[in-house]
Amino acid sequence: MTGAGRYAPSPSGDLHVGNLRTALLAWLFARSTGRAFLMRVEDLDRVREGAAERQLDDLAALGIDWDGEPVWQSQRRKLYATAIDRLVDEGRTFECFCTRREILEAPSAPHLPPGAYPGTCRHLTEEERAERRQTRPPAIRLRTEVDEWTVTDVLHGQVTASVDDLVLRRNDGVPAYNLAVVVDDGAQRIDQVVRGDDLLTSAPRQAYLATLLGIEPPVYAHVPLALNVDGKRLAKRDGAVTYRELTARGVDVFDLIVGSLGLVGDSPEALLQSFEPSRLPRDPWTFVPPAPA
């Protein structure tokens, strides 16, 4: 096999049908291109007891398999610390003492979208940093040297987005998502990332960070999300949306997902025979919870 794709759920609760749909697409993209398919549990934050195990069980019940054992981010903190230390030693970071509210209320730089980090702590003196450490532990931010970065996406083509001074380690000591995902993808030799298109604008900043760490950015494919009938992102509050809830109502979840993608087949392996990314729907899928059978 050449390279690897992956699925990386956060164990904050059971996967809903939109998450499962994305997982199946990630599997199809990987297997159809001769790649391995890896599973990673992103459990650095928001962990609900037993959720990871239920997620893996539901993925397997859908017919999705993966190579090797799942990797748990909570067991890889040394990797993240090493990457951060490297960037610190290279002078590519700075300490940040801003609260989330202060960032949201601060005026953004002209080249950055609203809510992006405005560079408040970038040029603090050592005396100013020492004073702030007395009242608040710092986060570590990347001292970004570009305003924007461009990646190529299988479904969206060339995508350019702004890159701000992203957080590498939060002020509570937890490695930030953008850092962890880049380090993990590099360490696992993942060269294909398929995920929801809500993360499309995050890809350029992650690709930029990857290049600083000497990691080749992956091939991206950001797929449409599942929405509820109000046009908002599907969530647990929308009723029966998980594999177990839908199955209990007599719904064939695999068939439901396959139909939403315009594919034909009764197993993931069967779908490979006709899977063609260019034919996938480009619009969000509106999920209407079926009535009990």
Residues with a catalytic annotation lie at 236
Tell whether residue 53 is among the known ligand binding residues.
no
CA 132 to chain centre: 32
CA 144 – CA 122 distance, rounded (Å): 10
Tell whether residue 282 is among the known ligand binding residues.
no
Tell whether residue 11 is among the known ligand binding residues.
no
Tell whether residue 121 is among the known ligand binding residues.
yes
| Structure-block tokens of residue 262 | 């315009």
60 bridge partner residues: none
Tell whether residue 96 is among the known ligand binding residues.
yes
CA 231 – CA 213 distance, rounded (Å): 38
Tell whether residue 117 is among the known ligand binding residues.
yes
CA 255 – CA 8 distance, rounded (Å): 23
Tell whether residue 236 is among the known ligand binding residues.
yes
Tell whether residue 6 is among the known ligand binding residues.
yes
CA distances from 192 to 2, 155, 169 (A): 10, 13, 25
Tell whether residue 9 is among the known ligand binding residues.
yes
**Residue numbering of the annotated binding site for L-glutamate:** 6-10, 42, 177, 195
**Which segments are annotated as binding site?**
6-10, 42, 96, 98, 117, 121, 177, 195, 236
The annotated binding site for ATP is made up of: 236
